[in-house]
Structure 1
């Protein structure tokens, strides 16, 4: 099934949650000079024009990134949010919020000469957009490889990587029920090959609750150091929008990530409404 296109949802509250986490993880990883391979298994586009037909149809960004953008002056004292919003500002052609960066940009914008970035996208239209967009600093285009194909299968084909460190982002649409099991199978095999990899997994919180079986399987898999963050816009019973929340797992999270992300989300939650809640814990500890 290739119907999903993230452009319809770009910049929504789940993107904010996911990309705040991605931005914070990369900050921690770049504190060391050793080379990193970044892999995005479900890349989508490098960035999204907020006035494009797809994005303007639902305008979900108005309840996501736009609320933070409009409040950026009073959020300037929160370090992660301020830095994240400054990164978004660097992508704008002017002072207005006109573009939202996709995951390939968040991973690629700070790629260094010693790093590598591999992007996978299965949807042919989305892959064409991605191939036409710049997501790495000028002069480092040779450090980027984008592939039209299945990202979970592609990930397994390129492991282990040549660099000392590995950072992977997995964020499927989960349109198919089978994707939950496929993600678990891939993670178990990938972490068996590269035990030190930092892996970020985004998942939706939907009333059907299919994510719970995925979490239970991961908790019982034998993997260690799995940290979970969930932002709920409302409770499942109150949901009238389908997706009531956003989940992130980080396997082998950098030290200090939880405290930094907690601080940012605490300042963000009031912008989501009175029902918004954040829950973070170790799904599996040391």
Structure 2
């Protein structure tokens, strides 16, 4: 089942949270001169036109990146994220394009770093390959991203970040995330793993977290931003990032950022946020 297309959701509140966390982790990795490996398991196309038919159909970016775009009083970490998106928009006069995780990561890589972007969708993969053909240290591959944790870890650099953000179209995806983490961690226990998840049914997220706890892996941080309370109704009420082996600065950074970010993204006052350890060190 490959019906999910991220172009309908690019730049929404979930992307904002995911990409700020991604940026902060990469900034931390870059504090050491030695190169690192970045694996994006479900890359999409990497770059999105917000004035496309898909994006305009949902308009989700207007309640995500759109609410941050013109603000000048953002926390410095959020301002750095906005600067990345503005660079894609030729200086930022008008919000026309949004960077997916692969492009944010690729623009932050140094010559000594490298990335593998995988995408299985038959329509999205050719677009992904074309969007990154000019990046010398980026490889694209049409494949099942979960399998790449087994196939490519540990990386030769012995430093790295794995971003896992499947579409969760199938409830099995929650279990596949846990299995993939187990496989990857056995091979590369010192790597950083960042898992994005949507909150559609809270019970599914709880099951995934229980599965991660049962792996025995330590140092698992959970970061979540909700736009409204949990509901049995259809639709995503919140999203989060689960980070294994997070940079030591990430917890404090997100606790600083999230109050302001939540107020800005959810001016109706229905939003909430949390930063907590699933399993501490």
- The TM-score normalised by the length of structure 2 is 0.95
Give the match for residue 195 of structure 2.
Answer: 201
Q: Of residues 246, 249, 257 in structure 2, which corresponds to 1:253?
A: 246
CA distance 1:208–1:80, shift in 2 (3 Å) = closer
Give the match for residue 242 of structure 1.
Answer: 235
Q: CA deviation at 1:74?
A: 2.2
Asked whether the 8 Å contact 1:42–1:151 carries over to 2, the reply is yes
CA offsets, 1:22-43, max 9 Å, x none?
Answer: 0111111111111100000000
SS of 1:175's partner is coil
SS of 1:142's partner is coil
Structure 1 segments, 4+ long, off by >3 Å, are none
Q: CA deviation at 1:110?
A: 1.3
Asked whether the 8 Å contact 2:197–2:239 carries over to 1, the reply is yes
Q: Which moved more, 1:55-64 or 1:265-274?
A: 265-274
CA offsets, 1:8-64, max 9 Å, x none?
Answer: 000000000100100111111111111100000000122101011111110100000
- Partners in 1 of 2:128 and 2:211 — Cα distance? 33
Is the aligned partner of 1:92 residue 2:96?
A: no
Q: CA deviation at 1:104?
A: 0.4
Q: CA deviation at 1:113?
A: 1.1
- Partners in 2 of 1:216 and 1:101 — Cα distance? 32
CA distance 1:241–1:80, shift in 2 (3 Å) = farther
SS of 1:210's partner is helix
- The TM-score normalised by the length of structure 1 is 0.94
- Partners in 2 of 1:207 and 1:164 — Cα distance? 36
- Partners in 2 of 1:120 and 1:63 — Cα distance? 28
RMSD: 1.4
Q: How many aligned positions are there? A: 278
Give the match for residue 105 of structure 1.
Answer: 103
- Partners in 2 of 1:125 and 1:156 — Cα distance? 25
Give the match for residue 118 of structure 2.
Answer: 120
SS of 2:108's partner is coil
Unaligned runs of at least 5 residues, structure 2 = none
Is the aligned partner of 1:183 residue 2:190?
A: no
Asked whether the 8 Å contact 1:36–1:115 carries over to 2, the reply is yes
Is the aligned partner of 1:266 residue 2:259?
A: yes
Give the match for residue 78 of structure 2.
Answer: 81
Give the match for residue 43 of structure 2.
Answer: 43
SS of 1:117's partner is strand
- Partners in 2 of 1:29 and 1:87 — Cα distance? 17
Unaligned runs of at least 5 residues, structure 1 = none
